[in-house]
Every structure is written in C-alpha cells, then in structure tokens.
Structure 1
Amino acid sequence: MRKLLILSTIFALSACGGSNDDGSSKSTYSSCKITSSQALFAADRDNDLKQCWNAGGNGYESQGDAMQWCEKQVNAYIANQYLVGHTVSYAVESTNCK
C-alpha cells in the first residue's frame, strides 16, 4: 500500500473571483501537482516532479473536493508508473499546469 503524504498548499483566493494570467479562475482549484518525491532513483524523482494535471472545466470550488480528485490522479499515476510505490507529496493550485 502506498503512503501518500498530503501536502496541502492553501492559496489566497480572491473573494470577488477573477481570472489568473492563464485564464483559470482565482476562486477555484484548477490543477494538481506532485511537489516532492521519495523515489529511490533520481530519474524517478525528477519524473514525478514533472507531473501535473488540470481539472478541466471550472475547477473545484472546495479544497477538499480538489484534494480528493488530486489524490486519485496521483494514485493512478504511481500505480501505472511503478511496480512498487513510494511516498510523494502533492498540492492543488488555483492555476493551470505550466
């Protein structure tokens, strides 16, 4: 069973809404990214840190919903990429992946 250390980054979201430079809404969580990796090999750690997923649509208004979606993305990635899992941290953001 993979252990995931949930690192939740809270961004100050504008109360009146608005858009980020990338077109995503400042008032929603639009992406999920791996922020740290405990993979054994450096190449695997580097690859993990390149992973980012956009929520699509309008994103998630609730941080809890965004974190649940993010956890599913990360779990699927780890399961498909590695035979033996490892610990990673991830966060949701109000901007899209770059």
Structure 2
Amino acid sequence: MKKIIVLTLLIILQGCGGSNSDGSSKSTYSSCKITKSEAILATDREKDLRQCWNAPGQGYESQGDALQWCERQVNNYISSNYIVGHSVTYAVESTYCPK
C-alpha cells in the first residue's frame, strides 16, 4: 500500500511542476520572443519574428522579472539592427526557443 501512495504522490508532483518536453521548467519563464512586428519591410518583419532569446540560468520565476529582461533583449536587438526603430510585441514563455 505504501508503494502505491508514494507512486501516486510522485505522479501528482510531476504534473504540478516538472519539465516541458524541451527540458525547460514549467514553473519558470525560459524564453523571450518577438510575436508581432510593425516593420515597414516584409523582410524586416520576418527577421523580427525569428528572434528568440533563452533566459539565463534556469529562467525567471517572476513574470515581471522575465518581462523586464525580455524588454532589454528586444530593445537591444532593435537598436542594434535598425537606424529607425519600429514597434514590436514580445512575450515570455515557459519553454526554450525552438532550435
């Protein structure tokens, strides 16, 4: 009977926290990506939408911290790649960037 209870608890705990299929933690924000671009040129919009950054370490537990980090990544990208910036929308996710 003890084995069944322990096994049940392990299954429950894995479902609550655990990892995503890519190995990232379900309980942290692991990446930042541009989800929408208002660039004038289609090639620039396509380039923007391919941008994704993995969070340092194990990611951020706080969504606010993750969004601040993400905003810095996006602002650095825009200022490094464009003379005149444009609007983009970005999001943080619990999974890593696609390879």
TM-score (norm 1): 0.84
Aligned equivalent of 1:30: 30
Identity %: 72
Count, aligned residues:
85
The Cα shift of 1:17 comes to 1.4
**Per the alignment, in what secondary structure is the counterpart of residue 28 of structure 1?**
coil
In 2, distance between residues paired with 1:15 and 1:66?
23
**CA RMSD between the two structures:** 1.3
Higher relative contact order (CA 8 A, sep 6+): 1
In 1, distance between residues paired with 2:31 and 2:95?
6
Q: Is the radius of gyration larger for structure 1 or structure 2?
A: 2
Aligned equivalent of 1:93: 93
- Asked if 1:77 is matched to 2:72, the reply is no
**Per the alignment, in what secondary structure is the counterpart of residue 80 of structure 2?**
helix
In 2, distance between residues paired with 1:56 and 1:15?
24
**Contact conserved, 1:31 with 1:53, CA < 8 A, in 2?**
yes
Letter of the structure 2 residue corresponding to residue 63 of structure 1: Q
The Cα shift of 1:15 comes to 8.1
**Stretches of structure 1 lacking an aligned partner (at least 5 in a row):** 1-13
Aligned equivalent of 2:10: none
In 2, distance between residues paired with 1:15 and 1:28?
15
The Cα shift of 1:89 comes to 0.1
Q: Which runs of 4+ in 1 moved over 2 A?
A: none
Alignment of 1:32-47 (within 5 A): 32-47=32-47
> Which has the larger helix fraction?
2
Alignment of 1:45-64 (within 5 A): 45-64=45-64
TM-score (norm 2): 0.83
**Contact conserved, 1:34 with 1:90, CA < 8 A, in 2?**
yes
